[in-house]
Structures are given as C-alpha cells and as structure tokens.
Amino acid sequence: MKQSAKGVIICGIGGQGVVLVSNILTEGLMEMGFDVKKTEEHGMSQRNGAVNAQIKFGAKVFAPAVAKGSGDLIIAFEKAESLRWLEYLRPDGCLIVNDVEIEPVSVQAGKEKYPENLSEILRAEIADTIIINAAEAAFRMGTIRAQSMVLLGISVKKLELGSFAWTAKIRAMVPEKYQEANINAFQYGLSLV
C-alpha cells in the first residue's frame, strides 16, 4: 500500500534550532487539521552531536518515522548532515541545505575529512536542491539564531502550506526579544521560492 502521509526530515547539530522548527511546523500542521506525528533523536546534542526530527502528516498517520525513499522534504541545517538522510528522500523529493559547514572534533583533529565540493555533488544528485546560507541571512536580520526561520520559510512554501498564519505561531513560540528577527527571517525564506 502506498503511504498517503507526507514525510519531512529535519537534521542538524544541537543548538541550531532543529527542535524549535520541528515544534513550530508540527503545531501549525495540527492546527491546519492534519493528523501529525513526530519522532526526534537528540542523542547527546548538548555535546555537539547530530540531531534530527522526522515528521509525518496527512489524513491519518501511523508511524512517525519516514521510510527510506519516501520522504518529501529534507531540511539540513548543516551541509554534511544531509548525507545521513539522503536515502530517505523520494527520487523527486526536495532537499533544502543550509550552506554552513560545522567541522566535528574528528575533522578538527585531522582524523577525518569534511567532504569537499558538497554543494555541487548535492545539486548534481538531486534536481530539486536549494542551498542557502541561512546563517548569513539571519545575521543580517539581527541574530544568527534566526537561521532556522529562513529554512522554515522555504520549507513552508515548498510543502504548499503558505495559507497558515505561521507568523503568529512563531510569535507564540520564540522569546519576545527575538520575535521580529525570527519573523523577518521567516518571511525572507518564503520570498526565496
């Protein structure tokens, strides 16, 4: 049986806002009337580990996790992290990549290499790839912490969920002093697609 629910994977590094974006997205989806489920892996994210959230939404959702080859969208907050999840994407799925490279200790210590020319490789592999330096854009809006909202903006557009009042949801879920920057970053993201 074909699965009817849509699948989204958000991946990145602890502290980048993966969990916040997944929370905003799922709350919004629920309010739009979808059945929604999510599963998260934090691992030891405080210790700079990889973090991910998998989201499924539709008329009825059973498992929260996305099966390989069935994801509609991957949002990678860190470039190389996208590699861990590529095989979960549908052949015609969309990949959104934050053009940010964060080297783990293994690379810093010279034990491993960070993959080279990754943007070109990803673009060649997946037709619908969007690579954007969200961190830089967010920095211009007032805080690098709003980078996640740029990525959320692009995602909402790509998933055709633009009709929902996302800015109100963002306002409700981020601390007051960052609200304006976050909303501006979100709107910037929307405008990119």
Partner 1 sequence: MAGNNKYFMMGNAALARGAYEAGVVFAAAYPGTPSTQIFENAAKYPEIYSEWATNEAVAAELAIGAQMAGVRALCSMKHFGFNVAADPIFPCVYNGVLAGLVFVVADDPGQATSSTEPDARRWGPQMRIPILEPADSQECKDFTKAAYEISERFDTPILIRLTARISHGTGIVTFAERQAVPIKPYTRNLSKNVGMSSLGKFKHARLEARVKDLAQFSDETDLNRIEWGEREIGVISNGISYQYVKEIFGDGASYLKIGFSYPLPEKKIREFAAGVRKLYIVEELDPYMEEYVKQLGIPCVGKEIIPAVNELSIDVIKEAFGVTGEKRRRLDIKAPERTPNFCAGCTHRGVYTAMKKHLKKVIACGDIGCYNLAVLPPYSVHETMQDMGGSIPTAISFWKVFQLAGRPEKPFAFIGDSTFFHSGMTGLADAVYRKANIVVFILDNRSTAMTGHQDHPGSGRMMDKTPTEPIEIDDIARGMGIKEDQIRYVDPYDLADLDNAIQEGIAADKLYFIVARRPCPLLPETRKARAGISCVVSADKCTNCKACVRQTGCPALSIAEGKAVIEREDCNGCGICAQICRFQAIETVGGLR
Identified binder of partner 1 from the candidate list 59, 62, 160, 163, rule CB under 8 A: 62
Report strand pairing: 50-58 vs 35-41: antiparallel
Identified binder of partner 1 from the candidate list 59, 87, 160, 163, rule CB under 8 A: 87
C-beta of residue 40 within 8 angstroms of C-beta of residue 11: no
Q: Give the range of 88-96, 129-137, 162-170, 175-183 binding partner 1 by CB under 8 A.
A: 88-96
Identified binder of partner 1 from the candidate list 40, 128, 136, 180, rule CB under 8 A: 40
Beta bridge pairs of residue 143: none
Identified binder of partner 1 from the candidate list 10, 20, 38, 185, rule CB under 8 A: 38
What is the footprint of partner 1 within residues 97-156 (CB under 8 A)?
A: 103-110, 112-115, 118, 121, 125-126
Judged by beta carbon, residue 67 or residue 191, the one nearer partner 1 is: 67
Identified binder of partner 1 from the candidate list 43, 119, 120, 165, rule CB under 8 A: 43
C-beta of residue 40 within 8 angstroms of C-beta of residue 22: yes
**Binding residues for partner 1 (CB under 8 A):** 1, 3, 13, 26-27, 30-31, 33, 35-44, 46-50, 61-65, 67-70, 80-84, 86-91, 103-110, 112-115, 118, 121, 125-126
